[in-house]
Chain A
Amino acid sequence: MGLRDALFGRKKLSEPRDDRLFALATAAVTLETELGLTTAGKAAVTFKPLSSGDFTRVDTDVESLIKAAGRSAGSEIERKSDSYGFEWLIVHDDDLEDQVTAVHAVAQELTDQGFGAQLLAAPFLFKGYQHPVYWIYGFKRGAFWPFIPTGDGQNRDNAEELELKAKLEKELPVEQDLTRWLALFDAPL
């Protein structure tokens, strides 16, 4: 990829890696018993829509599919768009595993339809600390990173985030490159 990109320019976005998503469900016990973090009942998957007829059709399919799946799992699906032009499918469910399953289903469906490259990230909201804690899964990276907005302006609690990284590294694939720890300050969760 590297040399070809340099010679001819990138021709496509990288494909998503959703294989490590379930690691969060596995780490749930550690999160709760050792770190005191429990799910706040909310997770989301965010993607960049394409302005193409093809995508609009697939988009509607995915939404109705995931809503139907949500009903049978007892979770509620909500859709929002943000000011940066990203679409959000928000999962309300008290069970972390159901959240992960729902997010995975969205990612899988978009990938199957050929639009996997449009996936950006999946934030999972946790409570138990002074500030809300997000574990964000980056689809391009195939790894998680913590995100703790302090609520005053656009500040994040880097110390706490790094501590979470250190404590959970063994159980969860945590993004090692700190420059990739994307913030989602106005996540409509």
Chain B
Amino acid sequence: MKRRSYGRDAGLTLRMLFTTGLLGLLYVFFGLVLVYFLNVGIAPMIILLGILAFVQYYTSDRLALLAAGAKVVERDQAPDLHDMVERLCGMADLPKPKIAVMDTPVPNAFATGRSPKHAAVCVTTGLWHRLEPREIEGVLAHELSHIANRDVLTMTIASFFATLAAFITRWFLWSGMFGGFGGSNRDNNNGPPVWLIVIAVSIVVYAISFILIRALSRYREYAADRGSALITGAPEYLMSALQKISSQMTLIPQQDLRQVQGMNAFFIIPARARTMASELFLDHPPLEKRMAALAKIAREMGRPVS
């Protein structure tokens, strides 16, 4: 008997496809504008940024752990954590990632790494101490799903041209301030100057891609939540874990929040000192929506969760 898998979400797939498509179109347009107006002047910058992005992508596991101040722990230092991750990897058919612990009372977790073979999962001591084992399992499975879905790769590619646009904007504003406009004064006589067009296009591309990337990031959170439900077979534990984590996030002092704020894109629930105005600019979906999506999966599995 072939069973339809739980957590299928045609709407989510469609939205992901739509967002990725839009982002692709936007970047093609951006690329065409650059090539058309600047010929080869922009090539060194693209190459430089490409190298930067590649290095970042290549060292993402070590870099993120370093930035978070997390320490990789071996089996004898955290046997239970290792056992738990190993079994979940067995279920998800993933190689075992490096396991790291971050010493902070804020309960949270993140995953990083360019491929399943070069990945790391990090949990905070707060998560380990404040949550029940099955809840921790739900969180770990969410992070493993990020690894399985290759989210670091996807987001690196998705934000490459956005970074380029931001760079160009700044570069031209700088050189504009100091006179010469990068030697691009071919058609100064008629129409608006080239640098103005390029800046305008860069700003627009950056703004639109910012929103699209955030949307993509939110969709991938939903996908990882779904993955967690599949791996653990029990979405209700992830739900209670999210509830606990988010309620703890608001209790902790400002000091800690600022310290970890740079890591937001990776965290299961971002640390935020104040709530932002609109969902459009968030990299994580609001808790209520995640809960609703998980409750839907739980319903599909046959046990209603209120």
Closest CB of chain B to A51's CB: distance in Å?
4
Closest CB of chain A to B1's CB: distance in Å?
5
> Do A115 and B3 have beta carbons less than 8 Å apart?
yes
Interface string of B74-87 (1 = CB under 8 A from A): 01100100111011
- Measured between beta carbons, the chain B residues less than 8 angstroms from A8 are 12-13, 16-17, 223
Is B108 in the interface zone, CB < 8 Å from A? no
Is A170 in the interface zone, CB < 8 Å from B? no
> Do B13 and A13 have beta carbons less than 8 Å apart?
no
Is A121 in the interface zone, CB < 8 Å from B? yes
Is B137 in the interface zone, CB < 8 Å from A? yes
Known: A6-B150, A8-B16. A182 touches B302 (CB 8 A): no
> Do A120 and B96 have beta carbons less than 8 Å apart?
no
Q: Most B CB atoms within 10 A — which of A10, A14, A140?
A: A10
The stretch from B166-174, B182-190, B193-201, B224-232 touching chain A is: B224-232
Question: Top 10 nearest A-B pairs by Cβ distance?
Answer: A9-B223, A114-B3, A12-B5, A52-B302, A52-B301, A50-B233, A179-B95, A140-B93, A53-B302, A51-B234
CA of A88 to CA of B117, assembled, Å = 29
Is B34 in the interface zone, CB < 8 Å from A? no
Please classify the interface of chain A as helix (H, G, I), strand (E, B), loop, or mixed, using the class held by over half of its residues: loop
> Could you tell me which residues of chain B, from 1 to 17, have a CB within 8 Å of some CB in chain A?
1-3, 5, 7-8, 12-13, 16-17
Known: A6-B153, A84-B137, A114-B1. A50 touches B301 (CB 8 A): yes
Tier of interface size on chain A = 35 or more
- Measured between beta carbons, the chain B residues less than 8 angstroms from A34 are none
CA of A185 to CA of B86, assembled, Å = 11
> Do A11 and B8 have beta carbons less than 8 Å apart?
yes
CA of A14 to CA of B5, assembled, Å = 11
> Do A48 and B91 have beta carbons less than 8 Å apart?
yes
> Do B145 and A10 have beta carbons less than 8 Å apart?
yes
Closest CB of chain B to A5's CB: distance in Å?
6
Is A138 in the interface zone, CB < 8 Å from B? yes
Q: Which residue of A lies closest to B9 (CB)?
A: A11
Q: Which residue of A lies closest to B233 (CB)?
A: A50
- Measured between beta carbons, the chain B residues less than 8 angstroms from A141 are 93
CA of A165 to CA of B220, assembled, Å = 39
- Measured between beta carbons, the chain A residues less than 8 angstroms from B154 are 6-7
CA of A114 to CA of B301, assembled, Å = 13
Cβ-neighbour of B148 out of A10, A55, A153, A183 (below 8 A):
A10
12 A-B contacts (beta carbon < 8 Å): A6-B154, A14-B93, A50-B234, A51-B235, A54-B301, A84-B83, A85-B232, A153-B79, A154-B75, A180-B90, A182-B96, A183-B86
- Measured between beta carbons, the chain A residues less than 8 angstroms from B153 are 6
CA of A83 to CA of B134, assembled, Å = 9
> Do A5 and B83 have beta carbons less than 8 Å apart?
no
> Do B233 and A48 have beta carbons less than 8 Å apart?
yes
Q: Which residue of A lies closest to B157 (CB)?
A: A6
> Do B133 and A138 have beta carbons less than 8 Å apart?
no
Interface string of A1-26 (1 = CB under 8 A from B): 00001111111111000000000000
Cβ-neighbour of B1 out of A50, A112, A140 (below 8 A):
A112
CA of A48 to CA of B89, assembled, Å = 12
- Measured between beta carbons, the chain A residues less than 8 angstroms from B5 are 11-13, 117
